[in-house]
Structure 1
């Protein structure tokens, strides 16, 4: 399934960003309101583990998606859990398995391609959040914009996120959509449509 391999490329790009995080930077603010860099990475690792459990057949257990306890090396935790998730998605694709994602709905599972698309978006946007906290978004933005398939997949999933109060605003993953600035590339257009300010800085 092509989306699984595109997701693997998204994870690899995010891992490259997160590898630059140093322990003394974990208290930095991020574009995610109220979240420090350390809290954001704990959330990402928890999501990696929850999606991996779902991909291996876990039912609608919300506790599987809990933020990860702080570790001695959050960047390595991110890398390891991302690699495990990539493997789990490939296993699910081979098995033709749907995924239970109780954070989104608890009455039925999601088709695998849709679930992987959700996490592809989450991976790239949170990868950008980390890069923004570190003050170095340019390389990630250029890498995604230079990958025709990956940028196209990101925009496709972004376009499917409803811009309504149920999905956007305080306490939600994304804010109300913004108008992309003139000359914005595909990644920055996706960020703006999801309520991020591509010019954000700490």
Structure 2
């Protein structure tokens, strides 16, 4: 089961790589579903998150590893390199049994590796969609990836933390599972409205 989580996360990252590969220099100023972020800002965030999770998987790195650097001369290349590093870190034997220190969750208490990888999985399903939406296109994931990500998304609590500055996710938006899709429910639960103009 745990090996499947690593495989689903890796698949989500590979989908994100395909979507990011579509980004051209002229696209970097485009708006995104992430409030006040351009596509350049979003790529910088995604890159930093990969670097942070990779460091956490190795038991390394403080808060500075997680800081986005929006001044990269090649944001797509920087993203691709960071994605490679997190895939390699998560592929190490026993990674799900390690404690991960995730400063955005709690700067002092680590979370179990299996939970951390679940967070990473849902992040990259949502962020791959964010990038695709910014480019005016779509994104497709396998059913197993969406099932795994939806299980995580359903556990993300609502509440005041969703409206705090720098919150990982905005408050959920109305969603009906009747006739909907797993991706649609994930997005809605994590504050994305696919029908809203950017």
Unpaired segments of 5 or more residues in structure 2?
none
Look up the SS of the partner of 1:75 in the other structure: helix
Separation in 1 of the partners of 2:55 and 2:121? Answer: 16
Q: Post-superposition shift, 1:93? A: 2.9
Alignment partner, residue 153 of structure 2: 158
Output the TM-score relative to the length of structure 1. 0.90
* CA-atom RMSD in angstroms: 1.8
Shift of 1:68: 2.7
Quote how far apart the aligned CAs of 1:78 are.
1.2
2:33 is aligned with 1:37: no
**TM-score where L is the length of structure 2:** 0.91
Structure 1 residue 89, shift from structure 2 partner: 1.0
**Paired positions, count:** 195
Conservation of the 8 A alpha-carbon contact between 1:93 and 1:112: no
Contact between 2:31 and 2:37, CA under 8 Å: does it hold in 1? yes
Q: Which residue of 2 aligns with 1:97?
A: 98
> Aligned residue for 2:170?
175
Structure 2 distance, partners of 1:49, 1:68, is 11
The aligned runs of 1:69-108 (5 Å cut-off) are 69-91=70-92, 93=94, 96-108=97-109
Instruction: Provide structure 1 residue ranges, at least 5 long, that are not aligned to the other structure.
Output: none
- For 1:115, the equivalent position in structure 2 comes to 116
Q: Please identify runs of 4+ aligned residues in structure 1 that moved more than 6 A.
A: none
| Deviation by residue 1:100-149 (Cα, 9 ceiling, x = unmatched) | 11111023211111000101111111111111110002xx1xx22xx221
Report if aligned partners of 1:169, 1:176 keep a CA contact under 8 Å in 2: no
Q: Secondary structure at the match of 1:52?
A: helix
Residue of 10, 19, 27 corresponding to 1:25:
27
